[in-house]
Amino acid sequence: MRDCLAVVLAGGKGDRLSVLSEKRAKPAVPFGGKYRLIDFTLSNCTNSGVNYVIVLTQYRPRSLEDHIRIGKPWDFDRKKGGIELISPYLGRKDSDWFKGTADAIYQNRSYMHTRPFNRILILSGDHVYLMDYSKMYSQHIENAADLTIATLQVKQSEAHRYGILELDTEGKVIGFEEKPKKTRSLTASMGVYIFEKDVLLKSLEEDAEKRDSSHDFGKNIIPAMLAKGDRIFGYRFTGYWRDVGTLSSYFDANQDLLRTYPELKIDDPNWQIYTNEDPRPPAKFGLYSQVVDSIIGTGCIINGHVENSVLSPGIFVEEGAKVSNSIILDDCRILGGSVLDHVILDKRVVVQRNSKLGAGSENIPNKDNPQILTDGLSVVGKNAFLPANLIFGRNVLIYPDVDENDFGEGKNITSGSTIYHHQ
């Protein structure tokens, strides 16, 4: 794939991940105990033989930039090839914040023009999957395609969330509709594309002139190419793939790692997932600790009970505390007597003694964010400091940086509530 430049779209704000993307770009959200979401895309590039990658950032890129740096974990710190992070900037007529996926590429068209690549591989930085792009690339060459779209089969109930393709017997795309309400096909786009560079740049130039365009690949570029008669083919992917765009899908994908026979095999020595490793020592387990069906990151100290949960590096679970069915991100402290169930804690949250988080069975949707929290998960934002003896139910959302004063006199928070930080 030396003739192919990979472009990773990593500027997403990720509103549906709520407080998890409040202070970081969506691709930088921690996952699976030691990874970030973008690690899967970058590792796929490394394992597929992609030598050159550019990452287009936008929303709160600092943690993403700190994580990737010069790309050493993915073997991109090399003389031939490498990785570059590019952010939009204001103040020029031809540059502004990215208005859509296609506009992000369009604003960097001069970069594409000057690089000696004939094909462009476009990827998202926030999907969890293992994929050999070289197989898709080979099919693209064999078909003499202008565009190849990676596809997978989805359930009828999920089809409305995706771009849906109709393919003929040779795999050529004969129909495409973005997020249709009803469809006969269940072949969905994964948001992974291989374009001929000249075709891509011409399509972007034409789209940029349309004032009514959303400048999006699914909504605009692909339908326009199909209308012109360009050669578009689908590539059938059959492995594990998850778009972790919601809190529920993020939680479920983490839980998938805990299965006895997981579909997502992140320990395959032939297809490693690389990351910027946390340098802390191995986890420590106290005399009375209990850990069942869980992933425990480096630097954790576990003296309590952890079950069916994913713990990132540096977590302290004091004796007498219990964590079940939860995702705990870096450097959280859970003190004795506290019980957590179906909870996501962002980094550096302190849960003081005798607190009950995710308590009860009352599943009332979050009143302020019903579109985000409906499945019984409760989420606590980064750097929150929770008071002792706190009790809250399901679908509770606590914003970053809250402290004891933000709770007032109330220590019993009903299901569906939101606690904001008052500066």
- Distance CA(150)–CA(399), nearest Å, equals 37
pLDDT of residue 267: 84
pLDDT of residue 127: 96
What would you measure as the largest C-alpha separation in the chain, in angstroms? Answer: 69
For the chain, 423 residues long, give each residue's pLDDT as a single digit of tens: 889 999 999 977 768 899 999 889 899 999 999 999 999 999 999 999 999 999 998 888 888 999 998 899 999 987 777 999 988 754 444 445 677 889 889 988 888 888 889 999 999 999 999 999 999 999 999 999 999 999 999 999 999 989 999 999 999 999 999 999 888 899 999 999 999 999 999 999 999 999 899 999 999 999 999 999 999 999 999 999 999 989 999 999 999 999 888 888 888 888 999 999 989 999 999 999 999 999 999 999 999 999 999 999 999 999 999 999 999 999 999 999 999 999 999 999 999 999 999 988 888 999 999 999 999 999 999 999 999 999 999 999 999 999 999 998 878 999 999 999 987
CATH 3.40.50.10330 fits 4-256, yes or no: no
- Distance CA(89)–CA(19), nearest Å, equals 25
Q: What is the pLDDT of residues 327-381, one digit of tens each?
A: 999 999 999 999 999 999 999 999 999 999 998 888 899 999 999 999 999 999 9
pLDDT of residue 89: 57
**Residue written as token pair 């705990």:** 328
Q: What is the pLDDT of residues 82-92, one digit of tens each?
A: 999 988 754 44
- pTM (2 d.p.): 0.93
Contact 329, 346 (CB under 8 A): yes
Q: What is the number of other CB atoms lying within 10 angstroms of the CB of residue 374?
A: 18
- Distance CA(113)–CA(372), nearest Å, equals 41
DSSP annotation string for 114-137: HS--SEEEEEESSEEE---HHHHH
Could you state, in order of their start, the residue ranges of all structural domains in the chain? 4-256, 284-419
Q: Across the beta sheet with 350-351, what order do the strands follow? A: 284-285, 301-302, 316-317, 333-334, 350-351, 385-386
Pick from 128, 125, 150: which is nearest to 137 by CA?
A: 150
Residues in CB range of 204: below 8 A, 6 or more apart: 102, 105, 106, 109, 221
- Distance CA(139)–CA(148), nearest Å, equals 8
Strand partners, 24: none
CATH topology of domain 284-419: UDP N-Acetylglucosamine Acyltransferase; domain 1 (2.160.10)
Pick from 271, 183, 178: which is nearest to 220 by CA?
A: 178
Q: Which helix (H) or strand (E) holds 198?
A: helix 197-208
pLDDT of residue 408: 83
**Which pair of structure tokens corresponds to residue 350?**
């302190």
Per-residue b/e over 308-329, b at no fewer than 16 CB within 10 Å?
ebbbbbbbbbbebbbbbbbbbb
